[in-house]
Chains A and B, each alone.
Chain A
Amino acid sequence: MSSRAAPKRTPQVSVRKIEPDFCEFVLSDTDPSVANALRRVMLSEVPTLAIDLVEIEVNTTVLNDEFIAHRLGLIPLVSQRVWDFTGAYDTNDDDENALMDIVFQMDVKCTGDDTLDVTSNDLQLDPSFPDIHPVAYSTGPQDAQAEKGVLLVKLRKGQHLKLKAIARKGIGKDHAKWQPVATVAFQYMPDIRINHALMDTLSEEQKLQWIQSSPNPVFRLNPVTAQVEVVDAEAYRYDGEVIAKAKALGKEGLVNITPRQDMFIFRVEGTGAMATQQIVVAAIDVLLRKLDTLQQSLASADAAMDMDGL
């Protein structure tokens, strides 16, 4: 923190993997505070849609009303259109036309002798928003091939569940059901320095022993040079096993491993509500909006101070 080097304002990003529900990228040339801000925003401040209010008309299932309402809330909804909506807790300027509620209906009764699974596929979509639906939603005949949806409750013969569920925009800070990610984490890239002078004092057998003490394959013995090399620095889990082993061999300082403070491996696991790369972009947008708001309020506070003659 005391270093006054020129601030790193041009971080580098390199994408490693993009899948619908997963993405991995490396953010480098920046500070942990920036990486952490990005992580925190993805977790708790990127808005999504989720069921927020449930009106139960008939419930003769084995689960109580609150239990079912909670399970409904946790179903991820495809939230591509979340930006068109206003959250119920947002301080808006009473815009009459603000979109707020998406109303789903559900009416399931078990008439057969077999147990009936009630899933997210039994939700009837809001006719005004046919593109807002639970993840893996399908209404066709439920054969083995079709997506099964998220199981809510099982019904016995004669049991009946009828309800109205209202979905709204919200953020993870208010309730975890609005989190767009299952997990998001960053790993510090380890900086591994082997003390080769000390390493050379080990016998080949000791070197192998030491290499094998790492639970993940990080090092290898080069068969040609008989030197220990790093094969996969990222596989190191900061477990300290190799450091403990070096100590046990009486060779403290054999290897020095420090987490790099300027390179972070991000792994984002989505819930299906949004594509993972979209979540990252949305998180940056949220951060930018925060900064802009603060910038403006700083300007107005500064002006107010000048008027007071402070």
Chain B
Amino acid sequence: MVSRNDYAVTFSVKDEDHTLANPVRFMLNKNPHVSFTGYSITHPAEKVVNFRIQTTGEMTSVDAFRQSLNGVTDVCKHIKAQLAAECTSFQASAGTSMEA
């Protein structure tokens, strides 16, 4: 974490890439208290993502970051639950059609 004040922080995330950074940035962009966010991978051989989060002042950058992580976690959990339910009902209907 590199910071001069709580509302404009650059986070250095190790061992991550676009896989995680892109959805997190998407979530941050949806946050009305975030005035700017972006990430950059300075070199493809270095596994570091630099994440910049500036807020309007109602919320610290750390909180915004935390909130966006929670947001993506919620999305993942929701997809997982949906998928499990769908697979079960799909297999149930496939089973009945085979019997018929």
Contacts and interface: CB of A to CB of B under 8 A. Distances in A.
Contact of B83 (A40, A281, A305, A310): A281
Interface stretch (A78-86, A183-191, A192-200, A289-297): A289-297
Interface of B: 1, 3, 11, 13, 16, 18-20, 22-23, 25-27, 29-30, 32, 62, 65-66, 69-80, 82-84, 86-87, 90-91, 94
A287 interface: yes
Contact of A15 (B18, B70, B87): B87
B76 A25 contact: no
A14 B30 CA distance: 25
24 contacts: A6-B30, A7-B30, A7-B71, A10-B78, A14-B86, A15-B90, A18-B90, A25-B83, A30-B75, A31-B23, A34-B23, A38-B79, A40-B18, A281-B80, A281-B83, A284-B83, A287-B72, A287-B76, A291-B20, A294-B69, A301-B11, A302-B1, A304-B1, A305-B3
Given A277-B87, A298-B62, 16 more contacts: A1-B26, A7-B30, A9-B78, A11-B79, A18-B90, A25-B86, A30-B79, A34-B75, A37-B20, A37-B22, A284-B79, A288-B80, A290-B20, A291-B73, A291-B76, A294-B69
A291 B72 CA distance: 8
Contacts of A287: 19-20, 72, 76
Contact of A34 (B13, B72, B82, B87): B72
A33 B22 contact: yes
Chain B CB within 10 A, most for which of A1, A7, A10, A277? A7
A131 to B, nearest CB: 23
A290 B77 CA distance: 13
A12 B76 contact: no
Contacts of B83: 13, 15, 25, 277, 280-281, 284
Nearest to B78: A10
B77 A298 contact: no
9 A-B pairs with least C-beta separation: A7-B30, A13-B82, A33-B22, A33-B26, A33-B23, A15-B86, A40-B19, A15-B90, A284-B80
Contacts of B25: 33
A27 B79 contact: yes
B81 to A, nearest CB: 9
Nearest to B5: A310
A41 B19 contact: yes
Contact of A295 (B1, B69, B91): B69
Given A11-B75, A291-B73, A37 B19 contact: yes
